[in-house]
Structures are given as structure tokens and as C-alpha cells.
Chains A and B, each alone.
Chain A
Amino acid sequence: MRTAVDAPWWTGPLRHARAHDLAPVALLLAVVAGCEAAFGSLTLSFPLQHAAHSAGFPMRRELPIAYAALTAGSLHSRMADLETAAAAVLARYEGLQLAAMYAATVLLVGGVELSVSGPGTAVVLVRALLVWTGLALVSGRVFGPRLAWILPVATVFPLTYLGEDGQGRALWWDWTVRPPSDAAGWTLAAVTTAAGLTAFRLTPWRLRTLRGRLAAR
């Protein structure tokens, strides 16, 4: 009889992938990338009637939200209730999964944009992906991984409606428009990524330990 100890090394990751529905996630990533390559230039227009403002912008600018939501949403498990009592190996697998999702989405967004729109857009959208993934991780910790999309989707309103001044120039925080080398944009990306990774590390049991330590003081 084979025991868990005898099982080949890939059994654990495979089971982890199955519980986290990583095959459908990979399929959805491919679908989103396909949409980005094929329909990324569709013009979206928002309800602004200011004479100075552009009539619209390409859809690709909002699509990194879908990748970010998939990255954070993939952390949901069909065995979420059981996993609250899991051993440290689960945390390691989740860390690996997050790293793999980061790598895959950065490569997909960067690769698609590099081949379709050019290096400038690729850099800006990878930066936007980092910002939104950070926000999605925070949102996933607060509302649960399945609702990780809430914060990124909520940013659509300020980005598309309030992101310009009276002259039609992008405000400093509009991370989807500012130029590739913009310092504020990269600062935002760094801050949100740090916040997202912190939120990812802040599991319920770590939170409990932290609270206990604070109470002991």
C-alpha cells in the first residue's frame, strides 16, 4: 500500500492545483489574453462632455483588472474550510502559486502588448497590472478571495471619470495613463504591491497571533 510519504513529489502540487481550480484559471487567463490581443483596441467612451477631453480610449487599458482579479481569485479553494486548519506546506504552495500567477500575468500582459502595441504601452500596462494585483490581494484578504475583484473594479470610476484636470491632462495618480517612466506611477505600483503581499501574508492565524501580542503588551 502506498502512503502519502511514498507518493511522487508532484502529487501535492497537483492536488493543490485541483483544489484551487487552476486549470479553469489558466483557461480564463488564455481567454483574457486572446481578447486583449484581438479586441484590445476597441474604443471605450465615458460620459464626459468636456470639450477638451479625448472621446475615448482603448479597452486594453482596463483589461489588466481581469488578470489581477484572476491572480487574487485563484487563491480561493474548494476546500477553504478544511484549509483553515492546514499545515505550513499549504502556505508554501500558496506562495508558489501567487509567484507563478504574478509571473504568468506579467508575461502575458507584457508579451501581448509588446507584440500588439509596443514597449511603452507594455510597460504602462504591466505597471497597472501590478497596482491592480496589489489592490486585488488586499481586497481578497478583506472580502474573501472570491470577491477580490471589488477594489480593482471600483477603481474604474475614478480612473475613467476623475483622472483628468480641467485641461484634459492626466492627474498624477492615473496609473493607466502616466508615461512609462513616471515616478508617481511606479511609487503607486510599489506601495500597492507591498500592501498586497502584506495582506497575502496576513493570514487569519497570523492576524490572531498579532492581536494576541498586541493585547499582551
Chain B
Amino acid sequence: MIGYRTELRRSPLRWWFPLLVLLDLAAIFGRGRWWIGEWPMTSVQAQIPAFYLAPLLAAAAAWAAGRTGRNGLRDQLAAAARPRPQVEFAQLAAALTYGLLAYALGAAVAAGVSLPTAGPGFLWPGYLLLGAALMVSFAAAGHLAGRTFPGGFATPVACGLGGFIVIAWAAGPQQLGLFAINGAPFRTVSWPALAVRLALAGLLLAGAVGLRRPGGRSAGRRALAAVAFGAALVVVTVALTVTVPLQVDRAAPAQPLCTTGAPTICLWPEDRNQLLRAQAMADRMRQLPTALVTLPARPIAELGLGRGGSRDPEGFYVLEGDMWDPAQTMAGDIMEASRPQGCPDPAVSAFTPEFYRASGELMMWLTMRIYGGPMPATMHGGPPSVDLGAVADVVRGTDAEQLAWAGQRSEVIHRAYCG
């Protein structure tokens, strides 16, 4: 314990701690604020800084661990009364303390920002543990590298820059799955996957403090330990690849949050901060001219609430906390429900470019009517050959003008189906 406190006081990270906190907060708040008020997204966002903190911790641990070799204290330490793993653990624990403390502070700030608007629940521990496992794994690997190659220059650079490259190249959610990017409410981190990542952290930690250079009286035992460590590392790496994808679908809640009045829009309870917006959209849908459109009869549900789970073709997805994408899905549902009935299936040749343009324009008009305005600047895309600015101008016009404009498009579509 005294050793740990000394290491804490002497760690090279002590002066860098405020900067680590600053980096953590910049990573949490630097890209968009849509995660605020939604617990799974907030949890994933609080975990993102681990991506950047992990290689930095690896470099710092490598530099710190090279101390013994750099200062010529190897023999002195070999003759010390304390068991060597205890000495190593104190030093590594000091580096981890600074890193994990910055991470925890960032998570606390993120939680505090989310709390006033968030739905039921709190930070999801699975995502936060995932980030912590990533940081512990990298710091331990850096410590091991620093002990093995104690030169003061190349090892920390290789751990820092190489760590960034490895993590950005091979650790993504679709690869080794060491971190998560998307905190959609219909997904959660799979517990077996998390257990394997925690096991990796534990194994590297054990290797970093326990492994010793072969030599001396117990040379055979030390070599055996190194071989066992290597074998375990291979097993865990294989387990990493087997447990990808990292995230699994959650069971739909018994009571989703739904708007009142037909048509109904249903959300995950975690997305409660969108409920008022969804209610306004349902109300605007009710005001659409019934002469032109038929509203879908079933409730319009967020992805994961329907039967198909996260692959439900009819579910909408709240992209980046914006209801634009859901509005587009709902417009598509309305187009589907309003398709001319009772006519024979038209020939493919009936679907002229004019038809596609008319149906694209009508769909974007519906989307903007439901959304309550033009496409926000942060969103992208739309049907080809549709001038979104021109459609936005139409939406600003009077009801009669809009009805006439939409009637023309509707007529083109009807002609394509029914001749």
C-alpha cells in the first residue's frame, strides 16, 4: 500500500492527469450532443475516450516501467525483500489509477448532463466495463513491453503510435470488438463477449506484473510461465474473434412508449426524450389531407420493437437523435398504404423517370410535413432527382397550394398503376 502511494506520487502521469480529463471530455462532447438524454448512447459515448486513452496509457506505462532498466536498478530490485510482482503491480496500478480516474470523471460528467432529460435507467455498466477493459489491456501490454525493452525511447513511441494503429486497424466493433460505437437502445453488449474482454485485461495484467526474465535459480519455471502466458493469449484472442459481434439484440419491452391517438408511434422507453417530438409528428400526420393519403393502420414502431428485432424492415431508426430518419420511414409507410388499390400489377415500363420523380417528391413532401420542416443540415441523402430545396418551398406554401402540388404528383403515380 505504501508502495502504491509512492508510485502514485511519482507516476509520470501525475502532471498529465488534468490533460487526460480534458481529452476525455473533448472526446465525449467533441462530436455532436445527440447522445444526451439517452442512457445507452450516453454509456457508449462515455466509453469512446477509452479508444484514445488506451494507447496513451500504454506509452506512459512503457516509459514508467523502463525506469528500473534505465536507472540501473535491476540488481537492487532483484535483491529486494518484497516480491517482484507486488512492486510491478504498484507501479502499473498508479498509471491505471490516473487513466481510469479520468475515464470515470468523464463518465460522471456525461451522466450528469444526461440525467435531467433521460428516460428510465442509468449508465449501462456493460459499455463502461468494455472501455475499462480496453484501457487495462493496453496499459498492461505497455508495462510488459517497457519491462522487456527498457530503452527509454523506442518502446514508448511504439506503444503509443503502434497502439493507435492497432486499435484503429483491428479493434473495431466488426473486427476484434474491443470497443462499441453505436449505442442504439435495441442493442446491448453481450455478456460472454464482455467476459472475454475482461479476461484479456486480466491476463495481460497478470503477465505484466508476474512474468520475469528467464535466468537465476528458477529459470525453468519462468520459461514455463512465459509459454503458458503466450498460449493463454492465443486462446483469448481466438475467443475475441468468436464473440464478435459484440452487441446483441435486446428483448422488446413489454410496454413500449407510444403516442396517443391514431396513427400511433411507439418508441423504446430509453428514447423517452423523443416522445414529445414523436407526439407532434403523429399529430401532424393526422392533419395530412385524407383525400390524397391513407395513414397506416398499425402502430409505427422503432427498430427492435417489432417482430423482426433489429432487422425489422418496417421499424424506424432514430439516427443521431434526430427524428428526420423516422419521418422518412413514416412517409414511406404512408406511400405504401396509399398505393392505388384494385388495379392490375402494372408493367415495368409504366415506371417512367417521371413516375420516380413524382413519387420521390411526394415522399419528401410527406417527410417534411411529418417532420415539421425541411431537412436539417446534419442529415444527408434523399431520393435521387428530387430537389429538396424546391420541396421545402412547397411545404412553406398555403394548404391549397400544397394540395394542388401533391395532387399532381399523386395523379402521375395513379396513372402509372392504373393506366
Beta-carbon contact of A62 and B164 below 8 Å? yes
Which residue in B23, B48, B165 is a CB contact (below 8 Å) of A59? B165
In the assembled complex, which residues on chain B have CB atoms less than 8 Å from the CB atom of A44?
164-165, 168-169
In the assembled complex, which residues on chain A have CB atoms less than 8 Å from the CB atom of B152?
76, 146
Q: Give bound CA distance, A76 to B154, whole Å.
A: 12
Beta-carbon contact of A69 and B157 below 8 Å? yes
Beta-carbon contact of B157 and A156 below 8 Å? no
Interface string of B169-187 (1 = CB under 8 A from A): 1001000000101100000
**Which of B23, B31, B381 counts the most A-chain CB atoms under 10 A from its CB?**
B31
Beta-carbon contact of B181 and A49 below 8 Å? yes
Which residue in A48, A153, A157 is a CB contact (below 8 Å) of B161? A153
A52 in the interface, Cβ–Cβ < 8 Å?
A: yes
**Nearest neighbor of B379 in chain A, beta-carbon distance:** A51
Beta-carbon contact of B161 and A149 below 8 Å? yes
In the assembled complex, which residues on chain B have CB atoms less than 8 Å from the CB atom of A51?
319-320, 379-381
Beta-carbon contact of B157 and A73 below 8 Å? yes
The interface size of chain A toward B, counting residues with CB under 8 Å, comes to: 35
Q: Give bound CA distance, A28 to B157, whole Å.
A: 12
Interface string of A22-55 (1 = CB under 8 A from B): 0010001000000000000011111111111000
In the assembled complex, which residues on chain B have CB atoms less than 8 Å from the CB atom of A147?
63, 156
In the assembled complex, which residues on chain B have CB atoms less than 8 Å from the CB atom of A46?
51, 168
Q: Give bound CA distance, A167 to B32, whole Å.
A: 12
**Nearest neighbor of A35 in chain B, beta-carbon distance:** B165
In the assembled complex, which residues on chain B have CB atoms less than 8 Å from the CB atom of A56?
168
Which residue in A42, A43, A49, A160 is a CB contact (below 8 Å) of B182? A49
A161 in the interface, Cβ–Cβ < 8 Å?
A: yes
A28 touching B154 in the complex, CB below 8 Å, given contacts A47-B181, A157-B23: yes
A177 in the interface, Cβ–Cβ < 8 Å?
A: no
In the assembled complex, which residues on chain A have CB atoms less than 8 Å from the CB atom of B101?
none
**Nearest neighbor of B156 in chain A, beta-carbon distance:** A149
In the assembled complex, which residues on chain A have CB atoms less than 8 Å from the CB atom of B381?
51
B144 in the interface, Cβ–Cβ < 8 Å?
A: no
Q: Give bound CA distance, A65 to B379, whole Å.
A: 34
A149 touching B157 in the complex, CB below 8 Å, given contacts A47-B48, A49-B182: yes
> Distance in Å from the Cβ of B37 to the closest Cβ of chain A?
17
A166 in the interface, Cβ–Cβ < 8 Å?
A: yes
A157 touching B26 in the complex, CB below 8 Å, given contacts A49-B181, A149-B160, A166-B377: yes
Beta-carbon contact of A157 and B27 below 8 Å? yes
Within 8 A of A (CB), among B1-50: 23, 26-27, 30-32, 48
In the assembled complex, which residues on chain A have CB atoms less than 8 Å from the CB atom of B56?
153-154
A42 touching B169 in the complex, CB below 8 Å, given contacts A47-B181, A157-B27, A157-B52: yes
Beta-carbon contact of B181 and A52 below 8 Å? no
A191 in the interface, Cβ–Cβ < 8 Å?
A: no
Beta-carbon contact of B51 and A47 below 8 Å? yes
Within 8 A of A (CB), among B372-390: 377-381
A66 in the interface, Cβ–Cβ < 8 Å?
A: yes
**Nearest neighbor of B16 in chain A, beta-carbon distance:** A150
Q: Give bound CA distance, A42 to B181, whole Å.
A: 20
A100 in the interface, Cβ–Cβ < 8 Å?
A: no
Q: Give bound CA distance, A65 to B165, whole Å.
A: 12
> Distance in Å from the Cβ of B63 to the closest Cβ of chain A?
7
Beta-carbon contact of B161 and A66 below 8 Å? yes
Q: Give bound CA distance, A47 to B47, whole Å.
A: 10
> Distance in Å from the Cβ of A176 to the closest Cβ of chain B?
13
> Distance in Å from the Cβ of A183 to the closest Cβ of chain B?
26
B59 in the interface, Cβ–Cβ < 8 Å?
A: yes
In the assembled complex, which residues on chain B have CB atoms less than 8 Å from the CB atom of A52?
378, 380
In the assembled complex, which residues on chain A have CB atoms less than 8 Å from the CB atom of B154?
24, 28
In the assembled complex, which residues on chain A have CB atoms less than 8 Å from the CB atom of B27?
157, 161
B351 in the interface, Cβ–Cβ < 8 Å?
A: no
Q: Give bound CA distance, A51 to B153, whole Å.
A: 39
> Distance in Å from the Cβ of B150 to the closest Cβ of chain A?
12
Q: Give bound CA distance, A73 to B378, whole Å.
A: 43
Beta-carbon contact of B160 and A161 below 8 Å? no
Beta-carbon contact of A45 and B168 below 8 Å? yes
**Which of B154, B169, B172, B379 counts the most A-chain CB atoms under 10 A from its CB?**
B154
Beta-carbon contact of A166 and B378 below 8 Å? yes
In the assembled complex, which residues on chain B have CB atoms less than 8 Å from the CB atom of A145?
153
Interface string of B353-381 (1 = CB under 8 A from A): 00000000000000000000000011111
Interface string of B138-170 (1 = CB under 8 A from A): 000000000000001110110011001100110
> Distance in Å from the Cβ of A64 to the closest Cβ of chain B?
11
Beta-carbon contact of A161 and B157 below 8 Å? no
In the assembled complex, which residues on chain B have CB atoms less than 8 Å from the CB atom of A28?
154
**Nearest neighbor of B154 in chain A, beta-carbon distance:** A28
A162 in the interface, Cβ–Cβ < 8 Å?
A: yes
Q: Give bound CA distance, A76 to B32, whole Å.
A: 42
**Nearest neighbor of A152 in chain B, beta-carbon distance:** B161
In the assembled complex, which residues on chain B have CB atoms less than 8 Å from the CB atom of A43?
169
**Nearest neighbor of A55 in chain B, beta-carbon distance:** B172
**Nearest neighbor of B165 in chain A, beta-carbon distance:** A59
Additional pairs, 12, CB under 8 Å, beyond known A45-B169, A51-B319: A28-B154, A42-B165, A44-B168, A46-B51, A47-B48, A47-B179, A153-B59, A153-B157, A153-B160, A156-B52, A161-B31, A166-B377
Which 8 A-B residue pairings sit nearest by Cβ, starting from the closest? A44-B168, A146-B152, A149-B157, A153-B160, A146-B153, A73-B153, A69-B157, A49-B181
A-B contact pairs, 10 of them (CB 8 A): A43-B169, A44-B164, A46-B168, A47-B48, A47-B51, A48-B181, A49-B181, A59-B169, A62-B165, A76-B153
